[in-house]
């Protein structure tokens, strides 16, 4: 259980933030922005959050299981982000279960050897990314270029994960509407399309590459 010594307001409607900011003046305050609020406003919420990042304001953002949104918020230097503890297990199980459902399985393994090797490669990279992220967190320091590296790799990796799931489902991977497709297939299509937005909001992948080239590699502008 987290106890906040600073006044903390739970935000469901983003328009209320500016109202509360004016009422509290220069008082130190926490805004806990729910995932419902973040989902409702979409990418626009990120630029709006950036505008109110003052020294006396802490943003506590709840992202649930949306890894792309999480990485976008990190790039905006949001100090506190509430993440679902189910994040890793869901991703690990979903990719394999979808592949087994649509491709088939033999002796408990995905029947297609090539696709199985692609998933294995993806999992290795995912584990390495998680360890690197943990190390960066333990070392501390300012975000800047480090955040850009995580934003770039994380969102592109998330896109690849969903592309693997789409590839496994075949024609069902582009399901949008209709009784011939089940709810899981339709939700997957929407989630896959949403990953494209994750690589745009909070700074596009091209912007992150530019930051990395200048601040990490020291390349000329």
Q: Give alpha helix (H) positions in 64-143.
A: 67-75, 87-103, 113-139
81 belongs to a structural domain: no
CA dihedral 7, 11, 13, 17 (to 10 degrees): 40
Same-domain pairing of 92 and 39: no
Q: Note the pLDDT of residue 84.
A: 52
Residue 88 has pLDDT above 50, yes or no: no
pLDDT tens by residue, 168-191: 888 887 878 877 777 878 888 888
Same-domain pairing of 202 and 108: yes
92-to-37, 48, 76, 121, 142 alpha-carbon distances in Å = 27, 33, 27, 13, 30
Same-domain pairing of 125 and 186: yes
Q: What is the DSSP letter of 178?
A: S
Among the ranges given (155-159, 198-202, 206-210), the one the predictor scored with the smallest mean pLDDT: 198-202
pTM of this structure: 0.61
Greater model confidence, 92 or 135: 135
Q: Note the pLDDT of residue 212.
A: 82
204: containing domain: 88-215
Q: What is the DSSP letter of 209?
A: H
Same-domain pairing of 153 and 47: no
């Amino acid at each position: 259980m987290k106890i906040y010594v600073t006044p903390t307001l739970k935000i469901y409607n983003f328009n209320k933030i500016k109202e509360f900011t004016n009422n509290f003046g220069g008082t130190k305050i926490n805004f806990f922005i729910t995932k419902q609020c973040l989902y409702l406003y979409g990418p626009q919420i990120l630029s709006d959050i950036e505008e109110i990042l003052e020294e006396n304001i802490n943003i506590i953002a709840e992202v649930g299981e949306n890894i792309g949104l999480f990485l976008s918020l990190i790039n905006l230097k949001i100090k506190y982000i509430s993440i679902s503890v189910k994040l890793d297990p869901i991703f690990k199980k979903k990719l394999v279960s979808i592949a087994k459902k649509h491709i088939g399985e033999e002796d408990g393994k995905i029947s297609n050897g090539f696709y199985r090797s692609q998933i294995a490669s993806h999992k290795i990279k995912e584990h390495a990314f998680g360890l690197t992220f943990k190390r960066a967190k333990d070392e501390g320091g300012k975000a800047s270029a480090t955040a850009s590296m995580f934003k770039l790799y994380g969102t592109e990796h998330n896109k690849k994960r969903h592309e693997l799931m789409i590839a496994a489902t075949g024609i069902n991977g582009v399901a949008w509407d209709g009784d011939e497709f089940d709810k899981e297939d339709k939700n997957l299509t929407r989630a896959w399309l949403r990953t494209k937005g994750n690589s745009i909001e909070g700074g596009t992948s091209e912007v992150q590459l530019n930051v990395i080239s200048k601040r990490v590699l020291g390349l000329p502008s």
